[in-house]
Structure 1
Amino acid sequence: MEQITIKEVAKLCGVGVSTVSRAINNHPDINPETKQKILDIIKEYNYVPNNSARNLKRADSNTIAVMVKEISNPFWGVMLHVLEKKVRERKYCLVLQNVADDEDEVELALQLEKEKKVKGIIFLGGMYDYDESKLRMVRVPYVIASSGKTIPEDTGSYTRSALVTIDTEIESQNMVDYLCSCGHKRVAFITSGDEGLGRCHLNGYKRALEKNGLEYDEKLIVRLKPGNRIYTIENGYNSTCELLESGVDFSCIYAISDTLAVGACKAIIDSGKRVPEDYCVAGADGQDIAEYYHPSITTLEYPRVETAQQSIRTLFDMIDRKKVVKRQMLAGRLIERESTRKL
């Protein structure tokens, strides 16, 4: 019989992946009937837990957990490299936890804290609006990095939570304001939806339009469907094809990631049009692909290295019971390249 995955076990049982994990690890806080159902499915389908997951339980107590959603997104590569290097310098181990789209990263973090005895946690931007009541249950120091806006106030004698991020709404507003200054009055917008970061990007977009005396047009907005792989070249390509086929009038596309922007450029070129002569394109992230794609893509560069450095430094300071800055707001940098021009 073909080996099945933990996600398939969860689907067969009608539960979440974290619930299956608790059953496998004989966790006490799981309904006995649910646990038995999971164990029966595991036996029936001959499921074998992933070795790397099993090894987590044997990790040393000097361990830092990093929670990552959409781990396939190349945006995280530079940050993970910095974090891994700094963790090794402190003689700690790093546990990288991928968070599936249907999983709650705070619940997974609580599970890691309990089972793997981690000393600290870094949340790498999986969510924006975190549930404060759940965050208060995290007993080890943690840092919300690269996205997020709220962290609970500390009630103990030392700080155990911090935020290192950029103001997504302001940065998005700055990009659209720049595009408007280039003469664009119809800026199409590819975003991740109306919640969390998507909402912040959209709010910034709207504020820039208002500042420049332009009307908001819902037909210019493309919202990507939720999932584990949102920020892909394919999504940028398909979204732009839809825009072009719809006949809606626009002169520029702003996509909230560089990979989406690359897909947008490809779709425009495949349609027989040119970038930036016929349509301009701008992205966000500051990934290498934006610089080396042709034409090179105007982008909003996020301070990824600085964010990672500040996050791990802050986390270790909290572990060492040192005084830290609880909220650190970093600034992005707009980089003008070949994919945009003045009209």
Structure 2
Amino acid sequence: MKDESAGAGTACERENHDQRAAAADSHMAELSADEYALFASVARSRRIHAGEALFRRGDLGTTMYVIASGAVELDFGEDLVGKTLGPREFFGELGLLIGDHARSADASVAADGELLELRHEEFQRLVERRPEVVSFFLRRAIMRVVLNEQGLIRRLRRRNQDLQTALDSLRSTAHQLSQTEALIRTDELTGLHNRRGLIQHLQERKRNGATYGLGLLLVDCDRFKHVNDQHGHLVGDRVLQGVANILRSVAGPGDLACRLGGDEFCLLVKAETRDEVMRYADFVVGTAHGLMQMPQVPPLICNLSLGACLVDPGREWNDWYARADAALYRAKRLGGNRVEWQDDARVPA
């Protein structure tokens, strides 16, 4: 009797665990209103009718689905519990994230309605439009996969090879998430941080109280349009990469080199005084000018104009940028290939 009671208790615990897991999975399978609106803005709409088969187990697929209206039934076969999904719930996400993923269930339409279909190209548009929303969705989707895989392990230990394949897919998804997050904050052409990466860096510094003792350099290429017009955009890209290499070489631990857009860059450096900031600035301008003196057709670099200032920890990025930009504008107006310093008192009203 003692063993039977223990067995019943264990079975009850497993049932409660499965119920909690099912509830958590259902919650994670439903898009928030913000996520649904974003996905709907790029997805392709498709009418569905009761009894229609969407895909079968083992089919390779690269499309994710979001239910706008109606219902879809997922049948995982064998002794696994099926699911019925309703509005704002999604399925098939591994096919989208990994590509050519074998479907783990039969999907059929349980009630007439509308589906939103997202393929890789639509998903890339989501990443570009609202990366923070997509990043949160991916994390939740991965957690959902983890819970599902844990359930499969509990129930189907004899299918070790299939489960290992699923876990490998999960690792691939996690790796893709890491790559996506890196792309969100990295400039594709130069490998430097982009503007979004800079803002994230500044927010982290602010949280850690690390905005003291910094200098800001805004960097702009002189006559860059002339390079593009005369030699083409591929040469222009190589010039931008050359500028990035100079900034990367001068940036030390704790410094940040960034491409803000076009031919505008910035360098955030650890510095307490004007002289320290100007040493960085003079090196950047001098290095570019020195390379310009070497014969190069087509050009691999161009002269640079810089605006420099110290960072006031009591102000925001826009204030720092306005100060350095005023100095940069003055450097360009004076002919370029030079550094101009901006004191707080000299910022235009």
Task: Give 1 or 2: higher strand fraction.
Answer: 2
TM-score, normalised relative to structure 2: 0.24
Larger Rg: 2
Task: Give 1 or 2: higher helix fraction.
Answer: 2
TM-score, normalised relative to structure 1: 0.24
